[in-house]
Structure 1
Amino acid sequence: MQWERGTLTPEFFSKGGAAAMVDDRPIQHIAEAHNMTVEEAEALVAERVESVRVYVSDSGYTVFISDTIPFVSGWPEMVHLSIKNRERSALLDWRDLQEIKNDLVGEENEAVQLFPAESRLVDEANQFHLWCLKDPEERFPFGYTQRLVLGRKTAEKCGAEQRPLKTRKKNRKPSK
């Protein structure tokens, strides 16, 4: 995919979209979680809100990117990707999500899509969210430990179905 830097509208900021991407907790909770003053927490949120950016791909995806505030002190720094496709449909291809993560964050950065407790559910649009570890050396303490990618012919021998694989690209990250 090829990416262009998009433009964020003033409404995005005034309606709280950027702040919600960074952290939706009350400022007091952020301050307490990170052992800082309310003023320091407000400054941190403001700094992160300023860092929100948007990219648009030639494949029809729009991705809002923000540096999040760690949920608790000591948790790794993360990047939040909020992804929608041109049709705003409820269907996204897993390979497209992997490519978006690789292009905009990095091939060696890990990401997760959270299926939250119902009490934390946010379902406002056909928009998908990935939370990516900012440090490419950091790993989640779950999941597979080694790469295993099968082509269509090998998968068929195992009784599985697989689409043809794309060729891996290098130097994917768009200019900031």
Structure 2
Amino acid sequence: MSEFGSATGVKIIMTDETQLKDLLALNLHKFEDEVKNIVDKADKEEQMGKAIAEYHKFWDTSDFVFEPAPNRKDVQVIKTDPILMETLEDNQVQLQNMMQSRFVDHFRGEVTEWLHKLTTADSVIQMWFDAQRQWSNLENIFLGSEDLRKRLKEDSKRLIRVEKLFCLIS
């Protein structure tokens, strides 16, 4: 048995025995605007629920792909995946739009949680790519040039120590 209240003040109790004639007897046609609003809200909430389910489905099964670093076969770096990054960006925009919706009340907690998760993931991924790019540049500068290694001995030694340590733990 389901019970529904509405802005119309009409109390509807739905059971397995409820028939169309029972609904027609409620004269809901007199409350057309209110019923349309209720149906519209239910439709928007259903769309949000489906979108959140899709986020779960996609992000629960998504993995990062690693590849050997340029000029290095012993170090793996995260590979740029355009589809993953585009989906991450699109999902963040969709969640921000949901937060602005007047229909978000039922899903506000989940939408807020997903927005936080994806925003954090985006920040971490960007920092990771940035660190990889900077490290690659440092390797090119210090390890690629004998002249620079000689002129910047301390910096070169420090880079080599960090690299050895990184290779030990990775």
Pairwise TM-score range, normalised by the shorter structure:
under 0.3
Larger radius of gyration: 2
TM-score, normalised relative to structure 1:
0.22
> Which structure has greater helix proportion?
2
Higher-RCO chain (CA-CA 8 Å, sequence separation at least 6) = 1
TM-score, normalised relative to structure 2:
0.22
